[in-house]
Amino acid sequence: MEKAVKSQIGVSSRLSVAPMMDWTDRHCRYLHRLLCRRALLYTEMVTAPALVRGGALHLLEYSPEEHPVALQLGGSEPLELAKAARLASQAGYDEINLNVGCPSDRVQSGAFGAVLMFQPGLVADCVAAMQEAVDVEVTVKCRIGVDDQVAEEALPAFLDRIRSAGCRRVTIHARKAWLQGLSPKENRDIPPLDYDLVLRMKQGFPDLHISINGGITTLAQARSFLDAGLDGVMIGRAAYHDPVSVLADADPVVFGTGTRSDPAEIVHRMIPYIETHLIRGGKLHQISRHMLGLFAGRPGARAWRRMLSEGAHRPGAGPELVLAALAQVPPDEISQAG
């Protein structure tokens, strides 16, 4: 009999911010959470060996305000992933996601990430072991295929295997990963997007919760995918570089609740968080680097960015710098920018 899984995530998975190494750290997620109360936030990938063999439990730290938040794991050994999933669930994560989409060299050498698209049976074993170990949902993030796989065949075969292993929710980056010859960055742009294939997967797997990812830059686009029948939309780079356009309106537009958030107010709400971080010995730039895009595309954006990026590394830099940078943004813009 299949295990009953607790999910606290509910509607939040209609819109998620993608896992992005070095970008979606806890400070970034805190900022995103202030901008949008509902969207599901993903951590950077944490490898199972780092947690289980390396004991790097600090990688699991987050703020309670970040919920709902999913931890993404990288790995390919079922028992080790199960142990890592248990640690993550004990830390209070709402979901554990397995990375089957990341093509970077470092990840390939450990035989995990996108290369696992070639081994659906192993991924199924990983998912089953992880789900057995925890009560929260175990999900998968994958590509439509890798290298010379025929995506129309490989993707449904892959989904079928992981569904049999108990996976109920999957996010599909709608392009292949080419494991030879492209850098990880090129692999996010060069292989062509095939949104139609992902839409067809929803028709073929109506019981699977399917989120689409890749190249989505606006909430209007996100809405149209939801209207077309997909269950969720995951946005990565656009949410990072222009968080206000993607997230400030998301509560009312995607979740039908709440109001749009105002970026100037968000800056003020970041101040206590920054103060606490500084008191604990942290540095301003560790947080402010994620705030650079808050006024993207609006008058004052350049001065805001420049002041923050030049000043935040200086010894003693703190909230005053953030407020001085905010003063560079014309007040009219502030009230319209949300």
Ligand X SMILES: Cc1cc2nc3c(=O)[nH]c(=O)nc-3n(C[C@H](O)[C@H](O)[C@H](O)COP(=O)(O)O)c2cc1C
Among residues 234 and 284, whose Cβ is nearest to ligand X?
234
The continuous run of DSSP H or E covering 223 comes out as helix 219-227
The token pair that represents 201 in the structure block: 């997967």
Question: Is 20 labelled as part of a ligand binding site?
Answer: yes
Among 68, 78, 214, 293, binds ligand X (CB under 6 A): 214
Measure the CA–CA gap between 91 and 79, rounded to whole angstroms. 19
What are all long-range contacts of 277-286, with beta carbons under 8 Å and residues at least 24 apart?
Answer: 277/27, 278/318, 283/312, 283/313, 283/317, 284/312, 284/317, 284/318, 284/321, 284/322, 285/312, 285/313, 285/317, 286/27
Q: Which of residues 105-164 bind ligand X (CB under 6 A)?
A: 141
Could you say which DSSP state residue 17 is in? E
Nearer to ligand X, 172 or 294 (CB): 172
* Residue 131 annotated as lining a ligand binding site: no
Q: Which of 225, 227, 200 is nearest to 213 (CA)?
A: 225
Q: Confirm whether residue 92 is marked as ligand binding.
A: no
Q: Is position 83 annotated in a ligand binding site? A: no
Count other Cβ atoms within 10 Å, centred on residue 90.
11
Residues contacting ligand X: total by CB under 6 A:
23
277 binds ligand X (CB under 6 A): no
Number of neighbours of residue 128 by Cβ within 10 angstroms: 19
**Residue 63 one-letter amino acid:** S
Closest CB to ligand X among 97 and 288? 97
Distance (Å, whole) CA 87 – CA 48: 10
User: Measuring CA to CA, how many Å separate 21 from each of 73, 91, 278?
Assistant: 12, 20, 23
Binders of ligand X among 12-51, rule CB under 6 A? 18-23, 44-45
Which region among 230-238, 251-259, 268-276, 329-337 touches ligand X (by CB under 6 A)? 230-238
* d(C-alpha 65, C-alpha 301), whole Å: 27
Give min distance, CB of 154 to ligand X, in A.
Answer: 18
**What is the phi/psi pair of residue 168, to 5°?**
-115, -10
By beta-carbon proximity to ligand X, the closer residue of 170 and 326 is 170
Which of 44, 95 has the CB closer to ligand X? Answer: 44
CA gap 55, 43 in Å, rounded: 18
Closer residue to ligand X (CB): 75 or 300:
75
Q: Which segment (50-58, 155-163, 202-210, 231-239) binds ligand X by CB under 6 A? A: 231-239
| Residues within window 300-319 making contact with ligand X, judged by CB under 6 A | none
Picking from 256, 337, 258, 242, the residue whose alpha carbon sits closest to that of residue 296 is 242
Beta carbon of residue 24, minimum distance to ligand X (angstroms, whole number): 8
Interface with ligand X in residues 72-91 (CB under 6 A): 72
28 labelled catalytic: no
Asked if 188 interacts with ligand X (CB under 6 A), we say yes
- 216 near ligand X, judged by CB under 6 A: yes
Among 12, 149, 213, 261, binds ligand X (CB under 6 A): 213
Among residues 68, 215, 300, 311, the one that binds ligand X under rule CB under 6 A = 215
Query: Among residues 102, 126, 142, 167, which one is catalytic?
Result: 102
Q: Residue 171 — φ and ψ, nearest 5°?
A: -115, 130
Q: Which residues participate in the annotated binding site? A: 19-21, 72, 141, 173, 213-215, 236-237
Residues involved in catalysis: 102
Applying CB under 6 A, the residues found at the interface with ligand X are 18-23, 44-45, 72, 99, 101-102, 141, 173, 188, 213-216, 235-238
Q: Which residues participate in the annotated binding site for FMN? A: 19-21, 72, 141, 173, 213-215, 236-237
